[in-house]
Amino acid sequence: MSNRAWQFLQADATALPFADSTFDLTLTSPPYMDARTYGINAQRGCAAWVEWMLKVVAECQRVTRGPVIIIAAGVTRDRNYWPGCEGLMWEWWKRGGDCHLYRPCYWHRVGIPGSGGKDWFRADVEYAMCFKRPGKLPWSDNTACGHPPKWGPGGEMSHRIANGARVNQWGHGGDGPSCIARLADGSRDRRPRPSHAAMTKGEWAGKCGNGSRRTIGEHKAGGYDLPILANPGNLIHTKAGGGHTGHPLAHENEAPYPELLCERFILSLCPPGGRVLDPFSGSGTTVATAARLGRRGIGCDLRMNQCELGTRRLLTPNAKAKKKPAAVTEMKLVEDVGLFSFAAGGGEVRRGI
Ligand SMILES: C[S@@+](CC[C@H](N)C(=O)[O-])C[C@H]1O[C@@H](n2cnc3c(N)ncnc32)[C@H](O)[C@@H]1O
């Protein structure tokens, strides 16, 4: 029995050697349309890419009970944008039945913007498409990467009434005729609305105590539950490119993405101790991040040298890493996945083809 929380396996993403619903989350980045060949003819035209990716997504969804997150972008050729990602989501949605989507997220690749050419705008973002089964996600913590709310609790929203006057607009109506916020003595109420008062982290911690929710009853009987963390939204900014991927070995893959991007999805969509799959694992960024965050990661790549690269990466601590791996012990991967046998104490790479 191994205590390793990760594994690499040579496999084709359209025929994964796993049982149905083996993973909690799939997070991956396939070869983009008409981009790199990876030495295995992996570039495809727009329509061919969509057809192929429909097979990949269906296979990933089969082995994953939670969401399947695909990082990708379209390309522009001869001043003509190829809407492969949009086409993929549209075709998936049209299938209906078990083929559902969540609104995509957008990855802002700070530091490596694309070129828009001489007459168009630069490309700063890529899609993080979310393919899923119907209904609620089996596990999610959508504020896991959230920040303390910036504004204090505001109670009633400001709004207009039938005669056009504004209510609950303390201090923001100025002296204009629409402002009816007056104190008992008839003077204007110039206090800022509580929701318009920025809070410092310390003030917020004071309100939320030791992290438990606290109800305040300022505005209504029954009170108001203070949110502890704000929803971080669907635009993810991370530095990308040289020095920002999370490990020097990442650059032995042609197109690595950063560990910070993986963090958002793994912390938010895979429970602690759960299983994450990357069917296009390359240098092993997803698997390395999963292992660091106390999840179990499995990476597959068609190229054996990439499976070996992932293994080397996981066995080589990043001397410059600011974030140290969480202690991962007694992960019963062999038993759980029922596929691999490990050399005692070591992660293993398996030739599958
Ligand atoms: C964009 S790279 C992934 C990079 C990875 N996210 C990282 O951070 O290093 C895509 C990878 O997909 C692999 N690949 C291409 N076709 C494949 C297939 N049909 N099945 C599995 N892997 C494939 C390539 O070998 C390449 O390493």
* Rounded-to-integer distance, Cα 200 and Cα 218, Å: 20
Residue 159 and residue 176: Cα distance in Å, rounded? Answer: 15
Phi, psi of 179 (to 5 degrees): -85, 115
User: Does ligand 1 come within 6 angstroms of the Cβ of 255?
Assistant: yes
| Residue of 145, 130, 42 lying closest to 93 (CA atoms) | 130
Which token pair is 186? 């008839």
Residue type for position 39: G
Q: Please list, in sequence order, all residues whose beta carbon lies within 8 angstroms of the beta carbon of residue 216, skipping any fewer than 6 positions away.
A: 153, 207, 223, 224, 226
DSSP element (H, E) containing 16: none
CB of 256 within 6 A of ligand 1: the answer is: yes
Residue 179 per-residue DSSP state: B
Verify whether ligand 1 is closer than 6 Å to residue 306 (CB atom).
yes
Determine the Cα–Cα distance for residues 34 and 22; give it in Å rounded to an integer. 31
pLDDT in tens, the chain (353 residues): 244 689 999 999 999 999 999 999 999 999 999 989 999 999 999 999 999 999 999 999 999 999 999 999 999 999 999 999 999 999 999 999 999 999 999 999 998 878 888 899 999 999 999 999 999 999 999 999 998 766 555 545 667 778 877 666 554 444 444 444 566 787 766 665 555 555 565 665 665 544 444 444 343 344 455 567 889 999 999 998 888 899 999 999 999 999 999 999 999 999 999 999 999 999 999 999 999 999 999 999 999 999 999 999 999 988 777 665 544 433 334 334 444 433 333 355 666 55
35 lines ligand 1 (CB under 6 A): no
Check if 38 has its Cβ closer than 6 Å to any atom of ligand 1.
yes
Residue of the CA atom closest to atom 12 of ligand 1: 280
- Residue 126 CA to residue 106 CA, distance in Å, equals 6
Query: Alpha helix (H) ranges present in the chain?
Result: 46-63, 84-95, 201-208, 259-269, 285-292, 304-315, 333-337
Tell me the CA–centroid distance for residue 306 and ligand 1, in Å: 8
Q: For residues 207 and 211, what is the distance between their CA atoms, to the nearest angstrom?
A: 9
Closest Cα to atom 3 of ligand 1: 282
* Span from the CA of 283 to the centroid of ligand 1 (angstroms): 9
Contact 10 CB / ligand 1 (< 6 Å): no
Residues 11, 300: Cα–Cα separation, whole Å: 5
Q: How far is the CA of 209 from the centre of ligand 1 (A)?
A: 46
Ligand 1 close to Cβ of residue 252 (< 6 A)? no
Residue closest by Cα to atom 7 of ligand 1? 256
What is the position in ligand 1's atom list of the atom closest to the CA of 28? Answer: 6
pTM for the full predicted model:
0.81
Reported in sequence order, the residue ranges of 29-173 that DSSP labels E, i.e. its strands, are: 68-72, 75-77, 80-82, 100-110, 125-132, 159-160, 166-167
Q: Centre a 10 Å sphere on the Cβ of residue 61 and count the other Cβ atoms it contains.
A: 22
Give exposure, 13-22, as e/b (b: 16+ Cβ within 10 Å): bbebebeeeb
Q: Regarding beta strands 166-167 and 159-160, do their DSSP bridges make them parallel or antiparallel, or are they unpaired?
A: antiparallel
